[in-house]
Amino acid sequence: MTRTAGEFLSAAQTASHFGVTPRALRVYERSGLIEPTRTAAGWRVYGPAEFERLYLILTLKAFGLTLREIGALIAAGGLGLDQLLRTQEAALRSQMANAEKALASLSRARQRLARDGHLDLDDLVELNEETNMPEWAEKLTGYGRENLSAGQLQALKDRMPDAAEMQRVQDEWAAVFADAERLAGGDPADEEALALAARAAELMQAFTQGDGALEKNTGGAWKKAWADPDLAGKMPVSPQAWAFLQAAGANYRASL
């Protein structure tokens, strides 16, 4: 629905439009990031200034910044909407360049298939990484491989799922991360957090098959990725949401 520039919305309406919860709006308010107007009856309402600020907050959170870091940026006047849009535009252009690279890889694979009649396992693994994985996933995989033994690498290749199953798993992780972002800042021991941790544990178990060293290595790879300045802002989940998920996981394991 198109909204006029001067229209004010309630907390529930604003949260719905931006895909967050009213509780998240209150967290941002307590952090000093937004300041809704109050009606005569004391109800919070949000207008154009708050809408723009919310866009900044949510975009920067997606880049992996904490609320404190976002507040510092805003207080310093270091990032306005135009600059943020320019940054997003540059990121999209980078994605376009990656897509062109992936298309070139597909073309080479088709040529090999026409020549040899098949693609071997290494070809398929490389092709999957270049065409199906975003940049963050490709680099994260590289970090993960640094500490894996030859046996662990072979075990992962042996149980590599088909494309449909891989997409299903990626979608399930995306849903877990989205819920972790929504719940971050809340109680990691409440019922919803424990249910989320159970979903994450099931996905991790399917990946590691009970290999504790592999699970530890995976966590180390994520830490390296967040420490990479070229990668941190492209990760699919923020450090604070990941920390919440880890805390919820500890509570879930303790409850078993």
Residues 62-93: tens digit of each pLDDT: 766 677 777 877 777 756 677 777 766 766 67
How far from each other are the two terminal CA atoms of the chain, in whole angstroms? 46
Tokens of 92: 């999209």
CB atoms within 10 A of CB 159: 10
Sequence ranges of the domains in the chain: 9-75, 80-132, 136-256
Given this structure, which CATH class describes domain 9-75?
A: mainly alpha
The pLDDT score that the predictor gives to residue 247 is 92
Helix (H, G, I), strand (E, B) or coil at 9: strand
pLDDT at 14: 92
Rounded to the nearest integer, the mean pLDDT of the chain is 78
- Distance between CA atoms of residues 108 and 87, nearest Å: 32
pLDDT surpassing 50 at residue 111: yes
Give 154's pLDDT tier (boundaries 50, 70, 90).
confident
Note the pLDDT of residue 160. 67
pLDDT bucket at 170, cuts 50 / 70 / 90: confident
Contacts 24+ apart (CB under 8 A), 207-214: 209/155, 209/159, 211/152, 211/155, 213/152, 214/148, 214/152
More confident residue, 68 or 194: 194
Greatest mean pLDDT range, 42-46, 53-57, 62-66, 80-84 = 42-46
Average pLDDT score over residue span 119-144: 64
Find all residues with CB under 8 Å of 25, minimum gap 6, and list them. 11, 14, 15, 34, 36, 44, 46, 54
Q: Is the pTM of this model over 0.85?
A: no
Q: Is the per-residue pLDDT at 117 higher than 60?
A: yes
